[in-house]
Structure 1
Amino acid sequence: MAQPVIRPRRDDDLPSCVRALATAYQADRYPAYWPSEPERWLAPPELLGAWVAVAGPEVLGHVALARAGSVIAAAVGLPGDQLAAVARLFVGVSARRRGLAGALLDRAAQAAREGGRRPVLEVESGAEGAIALYERAGWQLVTTATANWLAPTGQPAVVHTYLGPA
């Protein structure tokens, strides 16, 4: 396999992104519920940017950066216009254990800082691998709260909010 490259996501990447997302969903239940329109889920209206890890034409992983909403801003105690939320981070199962998730996380956090914003993210408490990645990368747990949606277990989701390195 060719050496992976991280680059800005293009519209024509979305079908390959959905294929990689499907493998992450099957392995990890991420996202917690399969979106009815996965391409739209990957490109929400609050999007600031998105990047993919690719080897040749195939997308191996994905990350997005979005405007932070009022809930996440309140959780970290900073105005929303000073934050950028890392979202939609996943690596397809066949491309794992190559450092791609960390590289994608770093790219999104760098873009947030370049835009004068502090990177922030939310993660469901059951995503132990993701939580370990964030903590290894120096992200700081700010708060934990019960979300207004149900985890796949049927119980209210518990969400951790992390603030990225400055």
Structure 2
Amino acid sequence: MDIRGRTPADLDACIAALADVQTVDRYPVDWPNDPGGWLTPGDLAGAWVAVEAEVVFGHVAVTRGMEITRLFVTPAARGRGVAARLIGTVRAAVQTPLKLEVSSEGEAAIRLYERIGWRRVGSTRATWLNTTGEPALLHHYASPPI
């Protein structure tokens, strides 16, 4: 599986991959009215995709505030280290400490972050609702030293 910078031509495939993830994991909790816009936030600094045989199996982005966002791997590609490779690609590209936040419901993601050395630095309540209809509990993580 190759990881490369996302191009505009990848956006439809990224939306299809996100739809697969949303069906299984309900990420994002609410399907966005403009999924392409959701994948391309206004403060986007870069985005990468994991691709095999011209199929997008994973995605990650980083904001100008050095926050990892929009990270997902399709169910078909899980268990192959794709998420860790996507995160590693961002870290190598920006060469600076990073941060991320994850809902407490994202137990598999939390296990991954902690396994690869990220540390929880705090928790807050989100303005959006989790799958139970309550304000989501967000855990904030900081990357390990470069």
Same fold judged by TM-score > 0.5? Answer: yes
**Cross-structure match for 2:137:** 158
The one-letter amino acid paired with 2:56 is V
Q: Residue 118 of structure 1: SS of its match in structure 2? A: coil
**Cross-structure match for 1:67:** 64
**Cross-structure match for 1:136:** 115
Computed over aligned residues only, the root mean square deviation of the Cα atoms, in angstroms, reads: 1.0
Following the alignment from structure 2 to structure 1, what is the Cα–Cα distance between the partners of residues 94 and 121? Answer: 18
Asked if the contact 1:147–1:156 (Cα under 8 Å) also holds between the matched residues in 2, the reply is: yes
Deviations 1:16-66 (A, max 9, x none): 111111111111111111111111111111001000000121111000000
Provide TM-score, normalisation by structure 2.
0.95
**Cross-structure match for 2:14:** 17
Tell me the percent identity: 46
Following the alignment from structure 2 to structure 1, what is the Cα–Cα distance between the partners of residues 134 and 103? Answer: 12
Provide TM-score, normalisation by structure 1.
0.84
**Cross-structure match for 1:42:** 39
Unpaired runs of 5+ residues, structure 1, are 69-83
Asked if the contact 1:33–1:152 (Cα under 8 Å) also holds between the matched residues in 2, the reply is: no
**Cross-structure match for 1:101:** 83
Following the alignment from structure 1 to structure 2, what is the Cα–Cα distance between the partners of residues 124 and 48? Answer: 22
Unpaired runs of 5+ residues, structure 2, are none
Instruction: Report the CA distance between 1:132 and its aligned residue.
Output: 0.4
Instruction: Report the CA distance between 1:147 and its aligned residue.
Output: 1.5
Q: Residue 89 of structure 2: SS of its match in structure 1? A: helix
The one-letter amino acid paired with 1:6 is I
**Cross-structure match for 1:53:** 50
Q: Decide which moves more: 146-155 or 127-136.
A: 146-155
Q: Residue 67 of structure 2: SS of its match in structure 1? A: strand
Q: Residue 104 of structure 1: SS of its match in structure 2? A: helix
Greater gyration radius: 1
The one-letter amino acid paired with 1:143 is G
Runs of 4 or more consecutive aligned structure 1 residues displaced over 4 Å after TM superposition: none
